[in-house]
């Protein structure tokens, strides 16, 4: 049975990725930092193929403890990521560092520790970037945009370093549908007006792309945009 580790596995997107890989027949390690209850409830609904795993990407010891549970690993999905909005005048360095520490350095910490297992399995990595890396300037998101730009550069550099043993790709999702984005939400209206397909991105659609990248052995160092045509609109 193939094995996948999904960081931030209980987030809006994380849940969809975990669900997709359970459906694909994987043993899914659903990593959580603070959302233990959500992870246990996901495990109840998806069954024994989903194993909740505490894992804080800011804490080397927590990563090591989580990795000790893994006997093998075919796929790492670096999905943990945080977002905040501050114009530069109001953005303090500690917030900049927090976002980078989770979105970028956290990705590096986790990747480094699971790399021996991935090399052994000739496995693959899918990093979660964002269209903000490719089209920055949504307003007040300089730090997040820069962090996702770093995710894109890291993906390409790591792919070159690990080839041909381990493939590394990224997906760059647009705005993902979530319960808070009801149909009157200004952000949703703005997004749907510009997106060629006139709707938000469903988390399941991003999970499909992650699954595709995990299987497509001709692809490495690529960034797949899943944005319902927003950037082209
Ligand atoms: N939502 C969007 O529209 C969108 C668009 C493009 C890209 N993305 C990217 O997609 C990914 C998932 O987004 P989302 O909206 O589904 O996330 P979300 O619901 O906002 O949840 C954030 C996730 O990050 C995890 N996390 C935070 N700090 C962590 C830490 N120190 N260690 C490990 N995990 C940590 C959280 O885990 P706990 O809850 O367990 O603490 C949670 O699972 C992120 O990388 C995000 O940047 C999202």
pLDDT tens track for 5-26: 999 999 999 999 999 999 999 9
Q: Average pLDDT, stretch 103-109?
A: 98
Residue 207 predicted with pLDDT over 80: yes
79 lines ligand 1 (CB under 6 A): yes
Q: Which residues contact 187 (CB under 8 A, 6 or more apart)?
A: 175, 181
The answer to whether the beta carbons of residues 22 and 2 sit under 8 Å apart is no
Q: Average pLDDT, stretch 176-185?
A: 96
What does the mean pLDDT of the chain come to? 97
Residue 60 predicted with pLDDT over 80: yes
- Concatenate the DSSP letters of all residues of the chain into one string: --EEEETTTTSHHHHHHHHHHHHTT-EEEEEESS-HHHHHHHHHHH-TTEEEEE--TT-HHHHHHHHTT-S--SEEEE---------GGG--HHHHHHHHIIIIIHHHHHHHHHHHHHHHHT-EEEEE--GGGTS--SSS-HHHHHHHHHHHHHHHHHHHHHTTTSEEEEEEE-PBP-TT--TT-HHHHHHHHHSTT-SPBPHHHHHHHHHHHHH-TT--S-EEEESTTTTT-
* pTM metric for this prediction: 0.98
21 lines ligand 1 (CB under 6 A): no
Q: Is 144 a catalytic residue?
A: yes
Residue 90 predicted with pLDDT over 80: yes
Of 133-142, 143-152, 210-219, the poorest mean pLDDT is in 133-142
Centroid of ligand 1 to alpha carbon of 31 (angstroms): 11
The answer to whether the beta carbons of residues 36 and 11 sit under 8 Å apart is no
Q: What is the dihedral of CA 200, 201, 202, 206, to 10 degrees?
A: -170
84 lines ligand 1 (CB under 6 A): no
Instruction: Provide the CB-side half-sphere exposure for 35 (13 A, CA).
Output: 17
221 CB-contact burial (10 Å; exposed 0-12 / middle 13-18 / buried 19+) = middle
Domains of the chain, CATH where assigned:
3-226 (3.40.50.720)
Instruction: Tell which atom from ligand 1 comes closest to the C-alpha of 33.
Output: 40
Q: Distance from CA of residue 64 to its chain's centroid?
A: 20
Q: Average pLDDT, stretch 103-123?
A: 98
Instruction: Tell which atom from ligand 1 comes closest to the C-alpha of 132.
Output: 6
Residue 87: what pLDDT?
96
pLDDT tens string 31-59: 999 999 999 999 999 999 999 999 999 99
User: Apex CA 12: angle with CA 10 and CA 16, to 5°?
Assistant: 80
Residue 119: what pLDDT?
98
From 26, 32, 144, 230, active-site residue: 144
Q: Average pLDDT, stretch 150-156?
A: 98
**pLDDT band for position 127 (cuts 50, 70, 90):** very high
The answer to whether the beta carbons of residues 6 and 17 sit under 8 Å apart is yes
What percent of the chain is predicted at pLDDT more than 90? 98
Q: What's the CA gap between 192 and 175, in Å, rounded?
A: 10
Residue 136 predicted with pLDDT over 80: no
56 lines ligand 1 (CB under 6 A): yes
Q: Average pLDDT, stretch 161-187?
A: 97
Q: Average pLDDT, stretch 182-201?
A: 96
Residue 45: what pLDDT?
97
Residue 94 phi/psi, 5° resolution? Answer: -65, -35
Residue 137 predicted with pLDDT over 90: no
Of 13-22, 86-95, 135-144, the poorest mean pLDDT is in 135-144
Residue 138: what pLDDT?
79
Instruction: Tell which atom from ligand 1 comes closest to the C-alpha of 175.
Output: 3
Residue 139 predicted with pLDDT over 90: no
Pick from 6, 16, 33 the residue to mutate for probing ligand 1's pocket: most ligand atoms within 8 Å of its CB. Answer: 33
């Amino acid at each position: 049975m193939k094995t996948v580790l999904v960081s931030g596995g209980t987030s809006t997107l994380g849940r969809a990725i975990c669900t997709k890989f359970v459906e694909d027949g994987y043993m899914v390690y659903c990593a959580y930092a603070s959302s233990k209850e959500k992870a246990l409830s996901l495990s109840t609904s998806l069954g024994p193929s989903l194993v909740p795993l505490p894992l804080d990407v800011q804490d080397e010891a927590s990563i090591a403890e989580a990795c000790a549970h893994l006997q093998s690993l075919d796929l790492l999905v670096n999905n943990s990521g945080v977002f905040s909005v501050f114009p530069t005048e109001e953005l303090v360095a500690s917030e900049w560092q927090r976002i980078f520490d989770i979105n970028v350095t956290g990705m590096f910490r986790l990747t480094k520790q699971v790399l021996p297992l991935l090399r052994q399995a000739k496995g693959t990595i899918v990093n979660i970037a964002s269209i903000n890396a490719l089209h920055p300037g949504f307003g007040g998101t300089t730090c997040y945009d820069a962090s996702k730009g770093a995710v894109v550069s890291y993906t390409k550099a790591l792919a070159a370093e690990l080839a041909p043993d381990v493939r590394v790709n990224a997906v760059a999702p647009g705005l993902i549908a979530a319960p808070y984005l009801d149909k009157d939400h200004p952000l949703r209206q703005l997004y749907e007006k510009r997106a060629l397909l006139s709707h938000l991105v469903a988390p399941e659609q991003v999970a499909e792309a992650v699954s595709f990248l995990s299987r497509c052995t001709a692809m490495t160092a690529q960034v797949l945009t899943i944005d319902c045509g927003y950037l082209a609109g």
